[in-house]
Amino acid sequence: MVLNVSDISVYYGVIPAVRELSLSVEKGQLATIVGANGAGKTTTLKAIMGTLIPKKGKIEYRGEDVTGFPADRRAGMGIALIPEGRQIFARLTVKENLLLGAYHRRDKEGVKKDQAWIYDLFPVLKERETQLAGTLSGGEQQMLALGRGLMSHPELLLLDEPSLGLAPIIVSDIYKVIHEINKSGITILLVEQNIVMAMKVADYAYVMETGKVRASGSPEEVMDRENVMKAYLGE
């Protein structure tokens, strides 16, 4: 098991955002968390990454309790978060953004190999490697955010709303690459409001509502539960 989250609760001040949440992701799996806006999906990813620390519960990564570890230590262990809104460095070039993703690595040859792989995944980034990241289109910025995360050579990739604000044709292209990344052996936990796209690529799905997991199972099982779809996904 790559990731095991047990009964975590996360608060913003006195307000609970995630309550007694449990989930797990197996090695090589692509799992997704879906649910309405405000369900606690992003907070869950931040807790796994270590930018938020749960008030209770436990987070285990590859069998080790990492609940109290800071985000940079978790990054060094092989966890990467692609945040909602991309959060690229607009005044740096494409290449500089990518290399920042490998800041903690000391294997120069491995960094070069991963950079070449990312350029294979996203040829447009190679074409624009000297261009300022802030001048890229929304879709290109999402590709750059993905590429920067992959430069850390993660075992577990956390994706937060990769389709947000993108045209349908770009979303389709992004998801083809996400599928390819997963097939390369990288475990993925995906947060999405685009339920149709998430369910197309996922091996396992969790449905969140008001900070709790309300249903889980294969995408087919979750999509087949009419009451779940109506109550938690707005369908």
Rounded distance, CA 103 to CA 172, Å?
Answer: 30
How large is the average pLDDT for residues 72-94? 94
Looking at per-residue pLDDT, the higher value among 224 and 185 belongs to: 185
Q: What are phi and psi of 149, to 5 degrees?
A: -65, -40
Rounded distance, CA 201 to CA 215, Å?
Answer: 18
Q: Where are the beta strands (DSSP E) in the chain?
A: 3-12, 15-25, 30-34, 56-61, 64-65, 79-82, 156-160, 187-192, 204-209, 212-217
Tens digits of residue pLDDT in 192-221: 988 888 999 999 999 998 999 988 999 998
Nearest to 195 by CA among 84, 39, 35, 30: 35
How large is the average pLDDT for residues 46-70? 97
Q: How far is CA 192 from CA 33, 49, 133, 151, 204, in A?
A: 7, 17, 24, 23, 13
CB 60 within 8 A of CB 101: no
Residue 11 has pLDDT above 70, yes or no: yes
SS3 65: strand
Place of tokens 């690459």: 177
Predicted pLDDT at 227: 58
Domains, the chain, with CATH or none: 23-51+69-78+155-235 (3.40.50.300), 88-153 (no CATH)
Residue 235 has pLDDT above 60, yes or no: no
Predicted pLDDT at 102: 94
Predicted pLDDT at 48: 98
Encoded tokens for 33: 């968390």
- 101-105, 158-162, 184-188, 225-229: the lowest-pLDDT one: 225-229
Tens digits of residue pLDDT in 162-183: 998 899 999 999 999 999 999 9
Residue 233 has pLDDT above 90, yes or no: no
How large is the average pLDDT for residues 7-14? 96
Average pLDDT, the chain: 93
